[in-house]
């Protein structure tokens, strides 16, 4: 069992006026390659912060983050961007698609930044849209798609560059429960078929149930860590 993510002694502190908020308080966590992990806990318990620290979107106040045995907490901002480009996909609650671009163009963006050759981009993006079942809507703009469809586009965008890790922050939070289930089964399918490591932040206990591992956070600390 290969450790793909290693968090050592992570603390994240925010100054709010005079008081200090400990969003993460000495967290140690290893994630195994190919695992489907749920991160649950009450609002404000530090789930998003943990995810963002893991993905290098923010540097922790203290501690080390190693991904695929590489220390990312010591990288410069630019190198961090380059690292994310090739290794990590993100999925957010609020899709974060570019409203001026079509579904296909949105999915092509990571390929452009990753300097994938022009002739390969379209095929790769079309393939990713096919995997999420949206190839027929590839020319639609986000405004012309339903919430569930938009989230599919953003999943395709997160996966198009074949990252080993995908981090999802409440991916079903903006969707009705039916659509949420579809998105979730899509994620599990991706996890099983392409062995991508997923960490999913969620409120929804139903989401958590289908995961291999459930980590519960409270006040910036890991309260429970259960494996099936």
Partner 1 sequence: MVNNMIDKDIIKFAWMSLWRRKLRTILTLIGIMIGTAGIITMVSLGVGLEESVTGEFESGNMTNIEVYPGVNMGPTEGNSIKILKRENVNELKQLDGVKAVTPIYQTYGELNIGRESVGANFTGIDTKEVDELGYQLKEGRFPRKDSIILGSSLEGQISKNNKKDLLRSSSSISFSDGFSELEKNNTSKKYRTRITGVLKSTGGAEDYSVIMDIDELIDMVEEKNDTKDIIEKEGYSNIRVVANDMDEIDRLSKEINDKGYMAYSIKNMIEQVGSVFKFLQLFLGGIGSIALIVAAVGITNTMIMSTYERTKEIGVNKVIGASVRDIRKQFLYEATFIGLLGGTAGLILSYILSFLINTIAKIFMSGLEDNITSIPIWLALFAIIFSTAVGILSGLYPANKAAKISVLEALRQE
> By CB under 6 A, is residue 216 in contact with ligand ADP?
no
129: buried, middle or exposed (CB in 10 Å: 19+, 13-18, 0-12)? buried
Span 182-221, contacts to partner 1 by CB under 8 A: none
* Strands 213-218 and 221-227, sheet pairing: antiparallel
Smallest gap from Cβ 169 to ligand ADP, in A, equals: 7
Q: Which x/- pattern, by CB under 5 A, does the window 109-128 give for Mg ion?
A: --------------------
Tokens encoding 92: 């957010």
Residues 27-56 that bind Mg ion (CB under 5 A): 48
- Kindly state whether residue 85 participates in binding partner 1, applying the rule CB under 8 A: yes
What residue 78 binds from Mg ion, partner 1, ligand ADP, none (CB within 5 to 8 A, per partner kind)?
A: partner 1
Q: Which of residues 58-77 bind Mg ion (CB under 5 A)?
A: none
| Min CB(112)–partner 1 separation in Å | 5
100 near partner 1, rule: CB under 8 A: yes
Cβ-based nearer residue to ligand ADP, 34 or 44: 44
Which range of residues in 21-29, 108-116, 127-135, 193-201 is near partner 1 by CB under 8 A? Answer: 108-116
Contact range with partner 1 by CB under 8 A, out of 37-45, 73-81, 125-133, 192-200: 73-81
Cβ nearer to Mg ion, comparing 48 with 73:
48
Tell me how far apart the alpha carbons of residues 7 and 67 are, in angstroms, rounded to a whole number: 9
Please check whether residue 202 is in contact with residue 40, taking contact to mean a CB–CB distance below 8 angstroms. Answer: yes
Q: How far apart are the C-alpha atoms of 151 and 124, rounded to whole Å? A: 18
CA-to-CA dists, residue 112 to 42, 57, 120, 139, angstroms: 38, 20, 10, 18
Tokens for 35, please give them. 């695992």
Residues 48-87, interacting with ligand ADP (CB under 6 A):
48-49
- With a CB cutoff of 8 Å and minimum separation 6, the contacts of 191 are 34, 36, 197, 198
Residues pairing with 166 in the sheet: 89, 198
The reply to whether 109 sits near partner 1 by the rule CB under 8 A is: yes
Q: How far is CA 97 from CA 15, 75, 104, 114, 195, in A?
A: 31, 27, 11, 18, 25
Estimate to the nearest angstrom the gap between the alpha carbon of 133 and the chain centroid: 20
Provide the 8-state DSSP code for 132: T
| Binding region for partner 1 (CB under 8 A) | 52, 57-58, 77-78, 81-82, 84-85, 90, 92, 94, 96, 98, 100, 109-110, 112-115, 117-118, 157-158, 161
Interface with ligand ADP (CB under 6 A): 14, 16, 21, 23, 41, 43-49
């Amino acid at each position: 069992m290969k450790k793909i993510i290693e968090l050592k002694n992570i603390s994240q502190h925010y100054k709010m006026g005079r008081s200090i908020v400990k969003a993460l308080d000495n967290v140690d966590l290893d994630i195994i390659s190919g695992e489907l992990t749920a991160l649950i806990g009450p609002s404000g318990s530090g789930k998003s912060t943990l995810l963002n620290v893991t993905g290098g979107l923010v540097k922790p106040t203290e501690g080390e983050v190693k991904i695929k045995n590489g220390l990312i907490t010591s990288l410069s901002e630019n190198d961090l961007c380059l690292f994310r480009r090739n290794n990590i996909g993100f999925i957010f609650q609020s899709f974060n698609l570019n409203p001026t671009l079509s579904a296909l163009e949105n999915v092509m963006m990571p390929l452009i930044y990753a300097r994938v050759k022009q002739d390969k981009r379209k095929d790769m993006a079309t393939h990713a849209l096919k995997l999420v079942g949206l190839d027929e809507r590839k020319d639609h703009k986000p405004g012309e798609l339903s919430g569930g469809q938009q989230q599919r586009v953003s999943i395709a965008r997160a996966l198009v560059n074949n990252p080993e890790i995908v981090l999802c922050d409440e991916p079903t939070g903006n969707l009705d429960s039916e659509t949420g289930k579809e998105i979730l089964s899509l994620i599990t399918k991706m996890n099983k078929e392409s062995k991508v490591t997923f960490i999913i932040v969620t409120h929804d206990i139903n989401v958590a149930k289908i995961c291999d591992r459930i980590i519960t956070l409270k006040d910036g600390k890991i309260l429970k860590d259960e494996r099936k």
